Amino acid sequence: MKQQRPLTITNGRLVAADGLREGAIRLVDGRIDALGDVTPQDGDDVHDAKGQLIAPGLVDLGVFAIDKPAFRFGGITRAALMPDQSPLLDLPSRVSYIAKSGKPDLWVHPLAAATRGLEGEQIAEIALMRQAGARGIATGRRWIADTGVMLRLLQYAAMLDLTVIAHAEDAALVGDAVATAGEIATRIGLPAAPAEAESLALARDIALAELAGARIHFRQVTTRAGLELIRQAKGRGLPVTAGVTPAHFMLSDLATVDFRTFARISPPLRCEDDRQAVREAIADGTVDVVSSGHDPRGPEDKRLPFADAEPGMAGAETLLAMVLTLVRDNLLDMSRAFDLVAGKPARLLGLEAGALIAGHDADIALVDPEKPWIIQSLRMEATAGNTPFDGQPTQGRVIALFKGGVRLTD
């Protein structure tokens, strides 16, 4: 799939780094040629955006499944795949296969398993996996308990100029817990772990990253104490970044009181104070990335007692709409919203994508930020509709999507 003719998208509102502005964008040979006060040239195809947002395609950092229909619906043109696959992404051959698997209409960027079998004991063949196409190193759903192994991993990553994407929960404290310790978990009798499991893991790994001189990204930071540690690390100038999924700024542990397993996620939902802390951290820049955590789970995994159900949510289709709620709540502007879901993830992965910049890949989403719709799990494009937002009215839809200058969907 290659762009055959130049395309100029006119009459839109460009989501640029310095804010929204009216204008057009010209795409040539799969890349952004020019934007702003641009007019179509002879031979160009022309698409009228009709006042819609002209935005970068989303870059979803840390999905657990490749789900093209869901990604198209959500405006995702690139996805970084977690190593928790079957088979695991702990060998160069598997990484190479995944790196080629989605093209040409979706680019999948595999994340190399940090350790063999994701068992946290022996460092995997990271240098070879980098050569095979890995764009980062990930610990998967697990925390590496062995401090020596984690330090060596970070030192190795620094030498290879790769970011380590870490899970931040002290496994010894979490055990078999499925909820956050507190009033709600006590009332409904769910096995729970203290929220401090997150901040303890963060404190150790930040210290190790500083010692190793490595870049570390915590895929989900969901507690007030944990976010304060990230804030302090950034204040010291450390290359530490943090992410979150919409569930943790939209929902609290109140969503678990009816034992609905669509609200069974990892890390578990937190108390209302932590939810508010996540929103504050997004607003002040402590949180760098919002990702979908896309992990579709069918009835065999979810139609079980809460404590027995598998964690995970189908998040690709709702990612953009949930982030746009923060714009309507005046927590951030439109440019910052797209930096959270496209620009910063692309920079962490070392991609020339995720922003409307001349020379970047022509991955473009046309978005109607006001278009209303109702999230319905049974009608989702994903392979499973396990969304905690089922039945929720929302606003914001991708109207058209272009990958490398080629139109994918209306």
The residue whose two tokens read 């319905």 is: 376
Residue 410: the pLDDT is: 52
- How far apart, in whole angstroms, are the C-alpha atoms of residue 217 and residue 73? 27
Q: Which residue intervals of 191-223 are DSSP H helices?
A: 196-212
DSSP designation for 253 = G
What whole-number distance in Å separates Cα of residue 233 and Cα of residue 408?
41
Domain extents in the chain: 57-354+369-394
Q: Which CATH number fits domain 57-354+369-394: 3.40.630.30, 2.40.30.60, 3.20.20.140, 3.40.30.10?
A: 3.20.20.140
Task: Tell me which residue has tokens 């997150």.
Answer: 198
Helices (H) and strands (E) in the chain, counts: 14, 18
pTM of the model: 0.95
Q: Kindly write down the DSSP assignment for every residue of 34-70, as one continuous string.
A: EEES--PPTT-EEEE-TT-EEEEPEEEEEESS--HHH
Closest by Cα among 124, 119, 123 to 94 = 124
Q: Give the H or E element holding residue 233.
A: helix 224-235
What tens digit of pLDDT does each residue of 13-51 get? 999 988 999 999 999 999 999 999 999 999 999 999 999
**What 3-state class would DSSP assign to 115?**
strand
d(CA 396, CA 326): 12
Q: Are 194 and 173 in contact (CB under 8 A)?
A: yes
- Order of strands, sheet of 289-290, starting from the edge strand that comes earlier in the sequence: 58-63, 76-81, 107-113, 136-138, 164-166, 216-218, 240-244, 289-290
Q: Residue 18 has what pLDDT? A: 87
Dist CA 5 CA 175 (whole Å): 56
Identify the segments of the chain with pLDDT beneath 70. 1, 409-410
Predicted pLDDT of residue 103? 83
Question: Distance of CA 364 to CAs 15, 247, 276, 406, 407, Å?
Answer: 11, 26, 32, 9, 9
**Cα–Cα distance for residue pair 227/248, rounded to 1 Å:** 13
CB contact set of 38 (below 8 Å; sequence gap of 6+): 8, 10, 23, 24, 25, 26
- Spatial contact of 209 and 275, defined as CB atoms under 8 Å apart: no
